[in-house]
Chain A
Amino acid sequence: DGGITQSPKYLFRKEGQNVTLSCEQNLNHDAMYWYRQDPGQGLRLIYYSQIVNDFQKGDIAEGYSVSREKKESFPLTVTSAQKNPTAFYLCASSIGQGARSNQPQHFGDGTRLSIL
């Protein structure tokens, strides 16, 4: 079945540790996104990528890094510089940019990150 797979579902980070969240899609979508959701707040954009080997910072990129080496994959690394990483992380994808950029984004099941 086509969709977006995020792993792991739950992740725990120790002090000073970097952790990587996986996001894979088989929808043949060009654009991929990472959001963070905190209780009582809307989704906030961390990073996005509209094409392979290119990505841009969103509204809250500090303390995070990404790569887009393959169309299907857009992993997010939460670095030790992110002092408040506890949140629900959501990966999304959409068909693409330009004339097709009005299409909706579809979400994976999310990864819940906590601090040990």
Chain B
Amino acid sequence: QKEVEQNSGPLSVPEGAIASLNCTYSDRGSQSFFWYRQYSGKSPELIMSIYSNGDKEDGRFTAQLNKASQYVSLLIRDSQPSDSATYLCAVNHWGLTGGGNKLTFGTGTQLKVEL
């Protein structure tokens, strides 16, 4: 069973629309949650972090966390063609030898913003 699940897409939205990306996770002990953006052929870039239930807004991005439902989402308002990329959900939880945290990644959702 996958620990972090995302719909692989592609998710296509018109320019200017709201893109909604979803992620579910299996470990109830997870403590922090991240969204990374990865352009084709490039490395992941952190765009949002969220640690507590509710919404967190940063510019056009809003991350939403619901720990009871084990669900985290990313909303992108006023979507632009430059937002076209794969979005990786990452979940942080204790699990490494030595007491450290482990970051588990979903396989990513491909977003296409069309003109």
Contacts and interface: CB of A to CB of B under 8 A. Distances in A.
Given A90-B44, A107-B44, A108-B43, A31 B100 contact: yes
Contacts of B32: 102-104
Contact of A104 (B46, B96, B104): B46
Q: How large is the interface on B (under 10, 10 to 19, 20 to 34, 35 or more residues)?
A: 20 to 34
Nearest to A110: B43
B107 A40 contact: yes
Contacts of A25: none
Contact of B102 (A45, A104, A107): A45
B38 to A, nearest CB: 9
B72 interface: no
A90 B32 CA distance: 21
A109 B102 contact: no
Interface in B41-73: 42-46, 49, 51
A41 interface: yes
Contacts of B96: 48, 50, 56
A94 to B, nearest CB: 8
Contacts of B46: 104-106
B98 A42 contact: no
8 contacts: A40-B8, A42-B104, A45-B102, A50-B96, A101-B100, A102-B92, A104-B46, A108-B43
4 A-B pairs with least C-beta separation: A101-B101, A42-B105, A102-B32, A107-B43
Interface of B: 4, 8, 31-32, 34, 36, 42-46, 49, 51, 88, 90, 92, 96-108
Given A50-B96, A97-B98, A98-B99, 4 more contacts: A40-B8, A48-B96, A56-B96, A104-B49
